[in-house]
Amino acid sequence: MSDSISQTKVPQDEFEVLQQLGEGSYGKVYKALNRLTARVVALKVVPIETDDKEMMDLTKEIRILEKCSSPFIVQYYGSILYENNLWIEMEFCEAGSVADMMRVSQTCLTEKEVAGVCANIVKGLAYLHEQKNIHRVRLPYHVAT
């Protein structure tokens, strides 16, 4: 297990959940306040079954994230394993994802906006490639703006 996954902290003591941002097959994502740092964060809560492979996959992903330092990759802050849930604390992106932007504006992105988003995605993927990491999710919901 990754050193940055705490098994001694209680997430409810550390975070104040402000609102749910999304939900998927992986779990739920919340906007939360880290009470210790006074930082607004994105908090991904992933239910952990007794599946060792699932935990190994998550641990591998966390090890990759904790080594990343790029303005084109969402910053990872830490994780807490508590009562069969993995709480993953990450940078909160105020504008949300590209899909969020499109939903809020109720319009398609302009050609110039698409070019900017694509350029940033390529920069993020290039960074991961330089670090010898491969990113498997390339959906608009996973691209922060």
Report the alpha-carbon distance of residue 131 to residue 115 in Å, rounded: 24
Q: Are 106 and 99 in contact (CB under 8 A)?
A: no
Measured over the CA atoms of residue 121, residue 28, residue 17 and residue 100, the dihedral's sign is: positive
R_g over Cα of the chain:
16
Residue 106: helix, strand or coil by DSSP? coil
Residue 89: helix, strand or coil by DSSP? strand
DSSP string, 54-79: HHHHHHHHHHHHHH---TTSPPEEEE
Judge whether 123 is annotated as a binding position: no
Phi, psi angles (nearest 5°) of residue 19: -170, 155
Q: Which residues are annotated as a binding site?
A: 44
Q: Which residues are annotated as a binding site for ATP?
A: 44
